[in-house]
Structure 1
Amino acid sequence: MNKHIAVLGLGWLGLPLALQLQKSGYSISGSTSALDNLKSLSQYAFQTSRIKIEQDNIIGDWDAFIHEASTLIINFPPKRIDNIETIHPLQIAQIIKHTPKTTKVVFVSSTSVYQNINASIDETVTCEPEKASGMALIEAEQLLKDHFGSQNVAILRLAGLIGPKRHPGRFLAHKKQLKNPNVPVNLIHQKDAIGLIEAILEQDCFGETINGCADIHPKRKDFYKNAAIQLNLEVPVFETSTAERFKIIDNSKSKKLLNFEYQFANPESIFSKDKLPEIHIVGAGPGNKNLLTLKAFNAINNADVILHDNLISDEIMAINTNAEHIYVGRKFGDKENPQARQNKINELLKSHCEMGDNVVRLKSGDPYVYGRAAEEVRFLKAHKLPFTVVPGISAALAAASLANIPITERGHSNAILICTAHTADYSTSQLNGIAEMLNAGNTLALYMGLKSLDKIIPKLIEVSGNPDIPINAISNVSRENEVLFSSTLGHIENDIKKQELQMPVVFLIGAKPID
């Protein structure tokens, strides 16, 4: 069985669809109509090309795009422009002209093809679209069936799409004098739309027209007011209306034919905490993307929003350029109140999660090694928001391995102490303990100490009584500009003046690199 799928349109629905299908074992080729999107899409492990469908031709290498594809998923909606009822079918005609008849097609259509009948409506009705987009789609559906054969085409008519970046609370918030307060809404979550397409493919369910819509149809006024309230937005104001026209999309065929169970059978469950996407607090390691865990890479790759610190490398940020990048870091010398900064981060985590976004809080190193993850985790627990913490390689451990410094070794050291320069500077009791560990042959990993050596080193020498203890300074661990500098406690201050080191720097004290 040929499991190669060509996805025309890697947009809000198409990209997560392609990623899900790839995860399920399909090989994928994808397309975008915008040249600007190619760079960000190139990070994914499938071929992406620029394909732009026009009325009279196709821009891009269509033959290469559909090469070896057994199934073509057409996923680009009619644009909201004049004469779209004529333009969109002409675009579909171009696809037909350049695609073999033997290709199977999943056409992502819309329930806008149905007319308002003030009652439930299913796939058996003769469609009489009331809007230009619906007219365009119903003609496109027929063109595809005429060319490929009705048994090779699956028509999936989706209701209004909600999900990440499309939280319904944003749709009508702040608006006044809206009509039709009591009409039922027809909506489908992104996850269910993707699930339906995958079910069609897995069950080879072609030759069918299927509605995709949630089971429940709350009143428009109630639904959008609740959605706005959840995001702390101004609720929309509806007029009192007597004559209202509507339709209720019947999804029973999708459930019976595909044995499909909707994750968001009630669209209002998008407001429920148990349906919110899990926040990922991710350790990015010291900077080299090859040192990321697979779980960290996947979380970054699938993020809609990335809240990142100052020390995250460009190559790790480049893993996902489609996501919204929000800088929340702190540089050396920043005067911003730390608690105010943390409160801002907490609220960003909460608000984006509640909007349905896949949120990644990206921290250098490991989240629990000077990453302040504890404050965020306590906040998320207090607000009952779903989260997971993804470990990262801390700079000291990465530096030891990359520089061949045995921070523990049989017969030499059986312990390593990780601390910051601030701790060593202000706590005499801890300094005594640190010095005793060094004298016993154990190892110290010192973070954030470059600007405090004049305070720390003399105290360590004074307490330990041994200026010959080895010390290694490693700048920009794992990155292209990494620098390793080895000395002793007695000489490090003078030696380091001759060797300019860029922050961040981690110090490993008490062990030498293996020659």
Structure 2
Amino acid sequence: MSSKPRISPRISIVGYGRVGLPLAKALKEKGYDVTGTVTGSDKREKLVAEGLDTHILSFDPQPQGDLAAAMEADVLVVTVPPSMRAPHEFPAVMENLANAAAGSGVKKVLLIATTSVYHQTGDVVREEDATPDASPFLGISWLPVEQLFSERDEFETTVVRFSGLMGGGINPGMYFAGRELKGANDPVNMIHIDDCVGVMAAIIEQDIWGEAFNASADEHPSKRDFYTKACESAGLSAPVFSDEPSPYRIVNCDKLKQRLGYVFKHPDPLAGLDS
């Protein structure tokens, strides 16, 4: 007796940005039914012309635009970053998104989060070490944001906590070029955009929900080595390094690799700068 073919889920990506857009293109190439959102009409027109189903949606923190279209999916991927203009509104934005998903037909949520849920004590951190009082990013405590989704009964959520992004047009050296950078010998935690996409696609394809995963490259070069090469590759002035101690953490990804069987495409951030 043959089994019925598995039906691919409809996927909606809230935030066609640095991570969401390459994910959409990768999933579309795999044959998934993908839709997504942008905040402006010009970008929407460009992406529609490229063959991507795209809607306009923004938050102030109430949703403005086609929220209903964004919720017409089985799997909702949330890749919304805090606004630099009004970061204090971010928890309300995410709560509005979680409420909208709960009131729709969304069955699964893939939430992109950050490793700022961990204290910077110089130790190796794993998923169970997350705490609401860890160092905030833009003044935001991220664990309560995760819980807005993970504690809902209406859908299942998997959270992916990304380290610093690189690749895909993102050069981390631009943030530190010519500036003083403490902790020159401290390790860095980075992840290439190619691996961001690979990890998210693997979660969707393997149908793995109700989990939290760290996502960071296997190797952790020193700040001195990484940011010197990053700046050189972009033709920028290298940072002025200081050996004065600086808080750091080392992000462990064993759970991700074991649970998903994932092999990083760019395990060494230094080599990843060449791609």
How high is the TM-score relative to the length of structure 2? 0.90
1:195 equivalent to 2:201? Answer no
Conserved? CA contact 2:117–2:130, under 8 Å = no
Conserved? CA contact 1:186–1:248, under 8 Å = yes
Give the drift of 1:234.
2.2
Give the drift of 1:220.
0.5
Alignment of 1:216-227 (within 5 A): 216-227=219-230
1:80 equivalent to 2:84? Answer yes
Deviation digits for residues 110-150 of structure 1 (CA, Å, limit 9, x no counterpart): 1112111211001011413212447343212101122245x
Conserved? CA contact 1:6–1:28, under 8 Å = yes
1:98 equivalent to 2:83? Answer no
Residue aligning to 1:244: 246
Conserved? CA contact 1:112–1:133, under 8 Å = no
Residue aligning to 1:269: 271
Conserved? CA contact 2:71–2:100, under 8 Å = no
Letter in 2 for 1:89: P
Matched residue of 1:135: which SS? coil
Give the drift of 1:58.
1.3
Deviation digits for residues 27-50 of structure 1 (CA, Å, limit 9, x no counterpart): 111100123322212213232110
**Cα distance in structure 1, aligned partners of 2:267 and 2:87:** 35
Conserved? CA contact 2:111–2:159, under 8 Å = yes
**Cα distance in structure 2, aligned partners of 1:48 and 1:186:** 32
Residue aligning to 1:182: 185
Give the drift of 1:227.
2.1
Residue aligning to 1:356: none
Conserved? CA contact 2:74–2:105, under 8 Å = no
Give the drift of 1:82.
5.5
Deviation digits for residues 189-211 of structure 1 (CA, Å, limit 9, x no counterpart): 00000000000001111000001
**Aligned with residue 34 of structure 1, among 27, 33, 40:** 40
**Cα distance in structure 2, aligned partners of 1:62 and 1:216:** 40
Stretches of structure 2 that go unaligned for 5 or more consecutive residues are: 1-6
Conserved? CA contact 2:172–2:227, under 8 Å = yes
**Cα distance in structure 2, aligned partners of 1:226 and 1:247:** 21
Give the drift of 1:76.
0.9
Q: How many residues align?
A: 266
1:161 equivalent to 2:165? Answer yes
CA separation of 1:228 and 1:40: change in aligned 2, threshold 3 A: same
**Cα distance in structure 2, aligned partners of 1:62 and 1:148:** 21
**Cα distance in structure 2, aligned partners of 1:200 and 1:27:** 16
CA RMSD of aligned residues (A): 1.9
CA separation of 1:204 and 1:134: change in aligned 2, threshold 3 A: farther
**Cα distance in structure 2, aligned partners of 1:78 and 1:63:** 22
**Aligned with residue 131 of structure 1, among 133, 136, 142:** 136
**Cα distance in structure 2, aligned partners of 1:34 and 1:62:** 14
Q: Percent identity among equivalent residues?
A: 29
CA separation of 1:102 and 1:225: change in aligned 2, threshold 3 A: closer
CA separation of 1:271 and 1:81: change in aligned 2, threshold 3 A: closer
Matched residue of 2:127: which SS? coil
Matched residue of 2:208: which SS? coil
Residue aligning to 1:210: 213
Give the drift of 1:167.
2.1
**Cα distance in structure 2, aligned partners of 1:72 and 1:255:** 23
Which structure ranks higher in relative contact order (CA pairs < 8 Å, sequence separation ≥ 6)? 2
Conserved? CA contact 1:227–1:271, under 8 Å = yes
Conserved? CA contact 1:51–1:62, under 8 Å = yes
Stretches of structure 1 that go unaligned for 5 or more consecutive residues are: 277-515
Conserved? CA contact 2:162–2:191, under 8 Å = yes
**Cα distance in structure 2, aligned partners of 1:234 and 1:91:** 37
Residue aligning to 1:49: 55
Residue aligning to 1:64: 69
**Cα distance in structure 2, aligned partners of 1:28 and 1:105:** 14
CA separation of 1:188 and 1:111: change in aligned 2, threshold 3 A: same
Give the drift of 1:75.
0.4
Residue aligning to 1:3: 9
Give the drift of 1:244.
2.7
Deviation digits for residues 1-58 of structure 1 (CA, Å, limit 9, x no counterpart): 3421001001121111100000011011110012332221221323211011232x21
Give the drift of 1:92.
1.3
Letter in 2 for 1:214: A
Conserved? CA contact 1:78–1:136, under 8 Å = no
**Cα distance in structure 1, aligned partners of 2:136 and 2:40:** 27
Deviation digits for residues 361-399 of structure 1 (CA, Å, limit 9, x no counterpart): xxxxxxxxxxxxxxxxxxxxxxxxxxxxxxxxxxxxxxx
CA separation of 1:116 and 1:176: change in aligned 2, threshold 3 A: same
Matched residue of 2:112: which SS? strand
Conserved? CA contact 2:57–2:66, under 8 Å = yes
Residue aligning to 2:27: 21
Give the drift of 1:71.
0.2
Conserved? CA contact 1:114–1:134, under 8 Å = no
Residue aligning to 2:4: none
Residue aligning to 2:147: 142
Conserved? CA contact 1:101–1:148, under 8 Å = no
Matched residue of 1:210: which SS? strand
Alignment of 1:434-445 (within 5 A): none
